Every structure is written in C-alpha cells, then in structure tokens.
Amino acid sequence: MSDQNAIQGKITEGIQGLFTGVISERKQYYSSNSAPAQRDVDGLISSYANEIGAATAAVNLIPGPAGMIATVPEVIAMIRKQVRMIYDIGKAYGKDDTVLTQEMLLGIAFSATGTLGAGLFVVQGTKVFLKRATLKVIQKVLAQFGTRVTQKVISSMGAKWIPLIGAGAMGLWSRSSTKSIGMIAKDVFSKEIIVEDIEEKRETSFVATEVKTTASSIDAIEYEKIKALISMLHTSKKSSEKKKDFIEKLIDSNKYFDSEEAHALRQLNFKGEKADVNYAVFDNNPEASLALLMDMVMLAVSDGKISSAESIFIKTVAKKLNIDPKDAEELINDARETIEGQNQNKSLENSSN
C-alpha cells in the first residue's frame, strides 16, 4: 500500500460518522444553550480558526510520509471542529434541523477543497437548493471528501518541506482552511434554503462528474504553480543551479502534466524566461494557494538563504492569493530561523571535530 493510500484510508475511516456525530453533539449543546448572534459570526470564525491553528501548530511533526500518517488524528480533529463551526454559524442564522443536516454540513466542508456544494446543494442567486440525499450518495461524497482531504494534506504538508518549516506551516494551513470554510458557511446560511430530494438517476453520475472536473482543475493549478516558481527566479540577478534543479524535480515528479506541458515548463526553467502566471486558477482554493506559498518558501531556501527580493516576491504573491502578508512573513521567518539553527548546528559539529 502506498503512503497516499495509507493516509487516505485512515482519513476516510476517521470521517465515517463524524458529521452525524457533530450534529448529535451540537443538538444536545443547544438544547440548553442559546445560539450565537449573527453579529458575532466573524468573531466565531476567527475564534475557531485561531484555536485550530494553535492546536495543529503544536503537533510534534516527524519528517517524511510516516510523519504525515502520524498527523491524521490531528487532521480528523481539525475537521470535527470545522464542522462544529459550520453548525454554529447555521444556528446564528436561525437555521433548524431541516437545514442543519449531514448533507449541508458535508457540502460546505467539501466546498473548501475547491467545489461548492459537492452536488449536495446548489447556489442560485439568493437561494440555496439543498439536496436530501440517499445513504448511497452520502457514502460516495464521503469517499470523495476523504480523497480530496488527502490530496490537500499531501500538497499542503508535503514531506518536501516539513523538515524545514514544520508545524508552523501546518498551523497556517489549518487556520487558513478554517477561515475559508467559515466564510463559505456564512454566505450559504445567509440565503434562503430550499430542501429537495436528489433524483435517483443522478445518484451515479454527479460524483463521477466531480472527479473529472477535479483532475482538470488540479492540472491547471499545478501548471501555474510551476510558472510562478520560475518567475521567482527573476528576483535574483543570477539564478542558482540549485533552484533550477529544485523546479526541474517538481516538474519530473508531477503526474498531472502531459509531455507537451512538461517540455514547455522545462524550456521556461532552462532559459530563465519570465512567465505570465494566471493566479485566477487559485481563486476559491485556499489549500492550493497555501501549497504554492510553501513551495515558494522552499525554492527560496533551497540554496541555504532567503534574499530580501525573494521575501518581497513571496509576500506580493500572497496578496494575489488572498493570503494575509503577515502569515507569509511568519512562514518566511520560520524558515529563516530553521536555516540559522541548521547552520549553528553544523558550526558546532565542525568545531567539535
């Protein structure tokens, strides 16, 4: 079994019963507690985001795939808290048990991975049409959700950067993801919600369509990500061969590129030409945006330092990706501190020999 399959299996197992469990728990909580007010929703989102970010940043990470597998319980705990937040936001907007269902909570949670509603609800203007799905449909969407979360975990917490920027990056990823989910929930629950049944004939089709769309969007994101990294090479008067090798390895290891795309990117990288990056492909996909930020930091430090020009470039791109420049600064500082620590350890080792 591959590392990705192992992670996916554990995540999929962990989310079974999670949504219904949260519904049961929050129903009991609100049976003796008042719902939050609409005016407090932004504060509620920030509170959940900070709590989840702090919890995941405190995780003791082990470099490599084994470390990612070990973080699965924390990922499940993060999802559980995010689903609680969705439910709480729904209560703030006065939604009842007919709306705060597994379909609605799962659809909103799924939306943060790049597809609004996952086929469980559709937004049309000021109205939301919520599908009352069968168990068969729910199981399919849960399986697809597990696959999506696994992809995000691997891209956002990849072994290629964990040893360098560690748990701080994991905390940033989870905080950003939580804020995104909170804002989606706020928008959805602010609308009129109409409940309807999923037609039997659509049961076997909408998840398959979802997978096809996902593959296409991932290809576009990965392609623009490499172009952005190549563009960052232009921040230095002379691009180091280490940095070009870093990009070359990313191109070689990417399974989404066809031979023509891979060749075009290699040519850009070899010639050092500035690439025109379409950052719009990262819209409404905070995990992909954060993964790009991580790769830019890793590229910057691949030769053992981060220049001021590279730092400015990373923060400029962060703004385009709707990531707080302060979060980008925090990530850069974490990487610098790690490099300094590694250099000090090397100096101590050399002096003791």
Q: With 50 as the cut, is the pLDDT of residue 276 above it?
A: yes
Residue 119's alpha-carbon distances to 18, 100, 126, 139, 295, in angstroms, are 19, 16, 18, 13, 31
Closest CA to 62 of 148, 150, 3, 147: 3
CB 114 within 8 A of CB 106: no
For residue 348, what are the contacts with CB-CB under 8 A and spacing of at least 6?
Answer: none
Using CA of residue 262, residue 170, residue 46, residue 84, what is the dihedral sign?
Answer: positive
Is pLDDT at 215 greater than 60 in this prediction? no
- Return the domain boundaries, the chain: 3-202, 216-341
Q: What is the structure's pLDDT at 247? A: 83
Most distant CA pair in the chain, distance:
73
How many alpha carbons lie under 13 Å from residue 52 in its C-beta half-sphere? 29
| DSSP H/E element including 298 | helix 286-301
User: At residue 123, what are phi and psi to the nearest 5 degrees?
Assistant: -95, 125
Q: Which of these, 138, 180, 136, lies nearest to 156 by C-alpha position?
A: 180
Residue 209 has a pLDDT of 44
Beta strands in the chain (DSSP E): 121-124, 127-132, 192-197
Burial label, 52 (beta-carbon count in 10 A; 0-12, 13-18, 19+): buried
Per-residue pLDDT at 65 exceeds 60: no
pTM over 0.75: no
The DSSP annotation for 64-113 comes to: SHHHHHHTHHHHHHHHHHHHHHHHHHHHHTT--TTTSSHHHHHHHHHHTT
| pLDDT score recorded for residue 30 | 95
Pull the structure tokens for residue 214.
């996902």
Checking if the pLDDT of 202 tops 60, the result is no
* Gap between the terminal Cα atoms of the chain: 43
Whether the Cβ atoms of residue 332 and residue 307 lie closer than 8 Å to each other: no
Spatial separation of the C-alpha atoms in residues 151 and 218, rounded to whole Å: 10
For 213-220, the CB contacts below 8 A with 24+ separation are 213/115, 214/114, 214/115, 214/148, 215/256, 217/114, 217/281, 217/285, 218/151, 218/256, 219/256, 219/257, 219/261, 220/278, 220/281
> What totals of helices (H) and strands (E) does the chain contain, helices first?
14, 3
What confidence category does residue 174 fall into, taking pLDDT thresholds of 50, 70 and 90? confident
> For residues 262 and 251, is the Cβ–Cβ distance under 8 A?
yes
Kindly report, residue by residue over 88-144, the tens digit of the pLDDT: 999 999 999 999 999 999 989 887 766 666 778 888 889 998 888 778 888 888 888
Residue 222 to residue 224: CA distance in whole angstroms:
6
**Is residue 140 a contact partner of residue 207, using CB atoms and an 8 Å limit?**
yes
Q: Of the spans 90-104, 199-213, 325-339, which averages the highest pLDDT?
A: 90-104
Q: How many CA atoms lie within 13 A of 83 on its CB side?
A: 26
Task: Give the residue with greater pLDDT, 147 vs 66.
Answer: 147
